[in-house]
Chain A
Amino acid sequence: GAGVSQTPSNKVTEKGKYVELRCDPISGHTALYWYRQSLGQGPEFLIYFQGTGAADDSGLPNDRFFAVRPEGSVSTLKIQRTERGDSAVYLCASSPQHSTDTQYFGPGTRLTVL
């Protein structure tokens, strides 16, 4: 079946603008994760959904970042008033049910804030 998909693959925006990044998890996967990866670093956890609810949002850096998953499938990561420091690859992952399962990653969205 299809893997995790993310759109857009690349996003260039100007400082101060609002952006939305979309993640389509593998069908039937109830757990969904967002990570952010800066150049030369490993991914850093942002937020974890179990179904529709955010089970852990402790990795969101500040209140400019918000994520939703209204129907328990597709998720959107929203960034308000973007800053140059937000530039990174945003990765989404999903896992089948229990969150100790293997996480399957999407190809990521490369966000560039000018």
Chain B
Amino acid sequence: SQQGEEDPQALSIQEGENATMNCSYKTSINNLQWYRQNSGRGLVHLILIRSNEREKHSGRLRVTLDTSKKSSSLLITASRAADTASYFCATDRATDSWGKLQFGAGTQVVVTP
């Protein structure tokens, strides 16, 4: 079973626009991570936010975490064609062995020039 659910399932935007995707989860977590995947192969780690943090930034990425709503958002600002990929949130559940990530089904982002 998958812990996280991303929304929307797919997103199509133009270069320069911002892209926002959301992740909801069901149980308490130690941390939440966002990954990017190109062409269905290896995942690239983007950002990790711990349960006691509310917001983190990394370059053009901004991640928020609301543990009361069990949700997170990933914002990509000033998108580029190279941002075209699938984006996954993954949670490290407090009830599981540490590091056992639970992934959502992902958001497919297409950025057109």
Interface residues of A (CB under 8 A from B): 4, 31, 33, 35, 37, 39-45, 48, 55-56, 58-59, 89, 91, 93, 95, 98-108
Contact = CB atoms under 8 A, between A and B. Distances in A.
A45 B42 contact: no
A56 B42 contact: no
Most buried by B among A55, A95, A103: A103
B105 A42 contact: yes
B41 A108 contact: yes
Contacts of A56: 96-97, 100
Contact of B2 (A39, A42, A100, A103): A42
- Indicate the size class of the contact surface on chain B: 20 to 34
Nearest to B33: A102
A58 B88 CA distance: 22
B48 A91 contact: no
Nearest to B98: A99
A89 B40 contact: yes
The 6 closest A-B pairs by CB, nearest first: A99-B99, A42-B103, A99-B98, A56-B97, A107-B42, A105-B43
Contact of B102 (A41, A45, A98): A45
Contacts of B4: 42
Given A31-B99, A99-B97, A104 B45 contact: yes
Given A56-B100, A95-B99, A40 B105 contact: yes
Contacts of A89: 40-41
B77 interface: no
Given A100-B30, A101-B99, 9 more contacts: A41-B105, A42-B103, A43-B90, A43-B103, A58-B100, A91-B43, A93-B43, A102-B33, A103-B99
